């Protein structure tokens, strides 16, 4: 193992207990995406714990637009972001990002987080998705700043609090940060316990169709009513049929809201659905299909239908630069004794947004574990040190040029060591 990798790894080994303590304490703080108090507590802790790198700055997030149960579009506040940057005169610019919100219900009390008797498994809400990843990001950067060539690599951290909602309030900041950097590292959990990384990802759209009919008494004036619920059912069936088309898209009717008392012809229904696609061509096709079905419904007697939402995550293909970044990570893994595999996935994350903004990004550099988004979430403790070493060695290699990044794709090339 070449220097400085050896000294980096030795330092990270010395931080094993700190890594575990950070994840444990962060997971004790409930931080659901729509819980301003919990997100605020989490940000306060991150400000303290990231202090060795500098002072994180708060960044105001935008709002998210949602269709509520009465069919109205409302704007909701989401958690603010935190950011920090280190700029060197030359070398690649690396964006490191991850979210600090979770899917677990808001709860002001400390959450239950437990370590197995053998010390191998940590259980608790968000330990793997993504508070373990937050710890990996922090300690990998600390290791690099202490032991790596900090004058030959720039970095920027972006921590968001609305990823589990699809990052509606942080998407613009992610896109802007993508434009300022040369490559992106995102610290979502690996795809499985073995540590497989995500290659290409599908694109995802969340849509709501708001259908208004006309209310009437079901007994006295039935024929005057226009039933929004049956119109919603017709639309849901028609959209579901698109799954049989050769459009390489999947359409999931997730919910139909609407109706009230059984003696009222319902005047409001909302169809909520998700679309997944492999390519932007399929995304265009899928959206056009849904739009034309909604337009046809909008013309039916006495009914109106309006489509809300769109592709919040474009598909993330594996282009040449992303492949190169993955190759560097695999090489780092090999030098650490790890065989790192990758595969495509239907899941989406902020990596889709960064890639769509032109930033080559690998997005599963967080910890190994399982049961995410469930009460059984767990983290394999050994992966904390392992994945921290992986990212720290990647940063060190990018800085010293042993892992080359093409100068044509760098904001500030390192002339004497560049490889194109």
Binding site for Zn ion (CB under 5 A): 129-130, 188
C-beta closer to Zn ion: residue 39 or 130: 130
Cβ at position 145, least distance to Zn ion in Å = 25
Instruction: Supply 165's token pair.
Output: 């909602």
Strand 154-161, strand 79-86: pairing: antiparallel
Residue 178 C-alpha from the chain's centroid = 14
On whether the CB atoms of residues 254 and 236 are closer than 8 A, the answer is no
Q: Would you say 68 or 374 has its CB closer to Zn ion? A: 374
For the CB of residue 108, give the shortest distance to Zn ion in the complex, in Å. 22
Between the alpha carbon of residue 220 and those of residues 122, 213, 216, the distances in Å are 62, 17, 8
- For Zn ion, the closer of residues 126 and 258 by Cβ is 126
Shortest Å distance, C-beta 133 to Zn ion: 7
CB of 129 to Zn ion, least distance (A): 4
Full 3-state SS string of the chain: CCCCHHHHHHHHHHCHHHHHHHHHHHHHCCCECCCHHHHHHHHHHHHHHCHHHCCCEEECCCEEEEECCCCCEEEEECEEEEEEEECCCCCCEEEEEEECCECCCCCCCCCCCEECCCCCEEECCCHHHHHHHHHHHHHHHHHHHHHCCHHHCEEEEEEEECHHHCCCCCHHHHHHHHHHCCEEEEECCCCCCCCCEEEEECEEEEEEEEEECECEECCCCHHHCECHHHHHHHHHHHHHHHHHCCCCEEEEEEEEEECCCCCEECCEEEEEEEEEECCHHHHHHHHHHHHHHHHHHHCCCCCEEEEEEEEEECCECCCHHHHHHHHHHHHHHHHCCCCCCEEEECCCCHHHHHHHCCCCEECECCCCEECCCCCCCEEECHHHHHHHHHHHHHHHHHHHCCCCCCHHHCCCCCHHHCCC
- Give the nearer residue to Zn ion in terms of CB position, either 278 or 363: 363
Nearer to Zn ion, 126 or 360 (CB): 126
Q: Which residues, listed in sequence order, are joined to residue 273 by a DSSP beta bridge?
A: 207, 253
Q: What does the alpha-carbon distance between residue 311 and residue 231 come to, in Å, rounded to a whole number?
A: 24
CB of 188 to Zn ion, least distance (A): 5
Pick 129 or 267: Cβ nearer Zn ion: 129
Q: Whose Cβ is closer to Zn ion: residue 308's or residue 373's?
A: 373
CB of 131 to Zn ion, least distance (A): 10
- Least distance (Å) from Zn ion to the CB of residue 361? 14
């Amino acid at each position: 193992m070449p220097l400085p990798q050896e000294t980096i790894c030795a330092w990270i080994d010395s931080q094993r207990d700190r890594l575990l303590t950070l994840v444990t304490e962060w997971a004790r703080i409930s931080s659901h995406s729509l819980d301003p108090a919990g997100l605020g507590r989490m940000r306060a802790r991150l400000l303290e714990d990231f202090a060795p790198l500098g002072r994180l700055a708060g960044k105001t997030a935008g709002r998210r637009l949602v269709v509520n149960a009465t069919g109205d579009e409302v704007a909701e506040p989401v958690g603010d972001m935190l950011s920090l940057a280190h700029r060197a005169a030359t070398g690649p610019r690396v964006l490191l990002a991850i979210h600090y919100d979770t899917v677990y219900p808001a709860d002001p009390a400390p959450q239950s987080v437990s370590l197995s008797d053998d010390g191998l498994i940590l259980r608790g809400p968000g330990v793997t998705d993504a508070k373990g990843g937050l710890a990996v990001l922090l300690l990998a950067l600390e290791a690099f700043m202490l032991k790596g060539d900090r004058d030959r690599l720039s970095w920027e951290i972006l921590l968001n609090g609305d990823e589990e909602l699809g990052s509606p309030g942080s998407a613009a900041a992610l896109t802007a940060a993508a434009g300022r950097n040369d490559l992106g590292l995102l610290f979502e959990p690996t795809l499985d316990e073995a540590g497989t990384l995500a290659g290409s990802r599908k694109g995802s759209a969340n849509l709501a169709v708001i259908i208004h009919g006309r209310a009437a008494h079901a007994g006295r004036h039935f024929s005057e009513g226009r039933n929004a619920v049956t119109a919603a059912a017709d639309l849901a069936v028609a959209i579901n049929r698109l799954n049989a088309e050769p459009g390489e898209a999947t359409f999931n009717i997730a919910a139909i809201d609407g109706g009230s008392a059984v003696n009222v012809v319902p005047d409001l229904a909302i169809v909520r659905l998700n679309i997944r696609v492999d390519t932007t061509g399929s995304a265009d096709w899928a959206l056009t299909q849904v739009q034309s079905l909604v337009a046809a419904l909008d013309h039916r007697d006495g009914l109106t239908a309006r489509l809300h939402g769109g592709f919040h995550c474009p598909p993330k293909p594996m282009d040449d630069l992303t492949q190169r970044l993955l190759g560097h990570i695999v090489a780092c893994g090999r030098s650490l004794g790890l065989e790192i595999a990758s595969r495509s996935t239907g899941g989406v994350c902020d990596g889709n947004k960064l890639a769509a903004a032109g930033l080559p990004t690998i997005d599963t550099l967080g910890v190994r574990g399982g049961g995410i988004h469930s009460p059984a979430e767990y983290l394999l403790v050994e992966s904390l040190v392992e994945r921290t070493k992986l990212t720290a060695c990647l940063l060190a290699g990018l800085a010293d040029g042993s892992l080359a990044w093409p100068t044509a794709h760098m904001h500030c090339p390192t002339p004497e060591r560049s490889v194109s």
